[in-house]
A = this chain, B = another copy of it.
Amino acid sequence: MRGLSRSLIALIASVLLSPTSAFAQADPLPSWNNGPTKEAIVSFVEKVTEEGGADYVPPQDRIATFDNDGNLWAEKPVYFQLLFAIDRVKALAPQHPEWKDKQPFKAVLEGDMEALAKSGHEGIAELVMATHAGMSTDEFQQIVSDWLATAVHPRFKRKYTDLVYQPMLELLAYLRDNGFTTYIVSGGGIEFVRNFSEPVYGIPPAQVVGSSIKTKYELVDGKPTLLRLAEMNFIDDKEGKPVGISQHIGERPLFASGNSDGDYQMLDWTTAGEGPRFGLIVHHTDADREYAYDRDSSVGRLDKALDAAADKGWVVVDMKNDWNQVFPLNN
């Protein structure tokens, strides 16, 4: 018995301590089909983490940036944050009788998506300001939490935070397990994304970069308060992404992932850096399990970046063929 228990202990120790154990060798990306895309990712990570190797990058420089909409979670029929704004307009309408006759609010209240689209960028900006400003940062977090806990996607009938891509969750964890720091760099609102980034993606609030409105510090009834103002602070899209990364992170990423032309500059800036770099594009090719769209889509248009991918060496994920699972199983 003693002998047996000793070998058991030795076995346990070898499993726990050996870097080449059965546990360590389990596939870290099970939702990715074997093939060139998965191989490219794994071989890049092995290359930059191989101590003594020619392409070794120390952990503090292993910065990975991920777009959010259409890259970590879905973005159809429209950006989920816009659906949040629409729901907020409906909820706040009783306090704003004037909205019945005023665009773009009228369009929202009448469910007239064509009229809403016609209101353009200015109309959307007006919706965002009316629903995202005029409260403290704490109050806004509560409003977003409440919405995310109850709102349901029109097609999939699941909570929005369930419509994250399982393969990308695995990729985030795989990179972190290999010493990377993972960031979100989103065109969406920084405080909106921060609301769920840690529980859903394992990315803490400080590692979220996004668009923002201005905030103002003020004593309210003697209590220090941060108030959200109806004034744009920063747009974290296109040329704004490298600027936002520079402001928040202060370093060029080693790895960047996006899915639309809004990510072109982030990908270009990342992969133009010296030494090994990696650019990843998620191409939505799966109308059955998710959506199929690229050049002609108004939400998440992928055109210029798709054309540039081959030349720039960016790896394009074919969602239909590269992913054997899209969303996490129902939980």
Contacts and interface: CB of A to CB of B under 8 A. Distances in A.
A63 to B, nearest CB: 8
Interface stretch (A75-83, A88-96, A265-273): A265-273
Contacts of A223: 272
Interface of A: 60, 137, 181, 190-191, 194, 198, 204-208, 212, 215-218, 223-224, 226, 233, 239-240, 242-243, 246-251, 265, 268-269, 272
B217 A250 contact: no
B251 A205 contact: yes
Contact of A269 (B216, B217, B239): B217
Nearest to A181: B206
A31 B269 CA distance: 44
7 contacts: A181-B206, A194-B250, A205-B250, A205-B251, A206-B251, A212-B247, A226-B242
B269 A242 contact: no
Contacts of A272: 223-224
B198 A60 contact: yes
Given A223-B272, A224-B268, A265-B217, A208 B250 contact: yes
A265 B212 CA distance: 21
Contact of A250 (B206, B224, B246, B247): B206
B249 A205 contact: yes
A215 B246 contact: yes
Contacts of A251: 205-206
Given A60-B204, A216-B243, A217-B269, 20 more contacts: A137-B246, A181-B206, A190-B247, A190-B250, A191-B250, A205-B250, A206-B206, A206-B249, A206-B251, A212-B247, A215-B243, A215-B246, A215-B247, A216-B239, A217-B242, A217-B265, A223-B272, A224-B265, A224-B272, A233-B247
Nearest to A239: B217
A278 to B, nearest CB: 16
A239 to B, nearest CB: 4
A206 B180 CA distance: 14
A198 B58 CA distance: 14
A270 to B, nearest CB: 9
Contacts of A207: 206
Nearest to A218: B239
Contacts of A194: 250
Contacts of A224: 242, 265, 268-269, 272
Contact of A248 (B60, B215, B242, B248): B248
A304 to B, nearest CB: 14
Contacts of A208: 250
Contacts of A215: 243, 246-247
A195 to B, nearest CB: 10
A66 B247 CA distance: 18
A4 B242 CA distance: 61
A198 B251 CA distance: 12
A217 B248 CA distance: 15
Contacts of A198: 60
Contact of A243 (B181, B226, B243, B249): B226
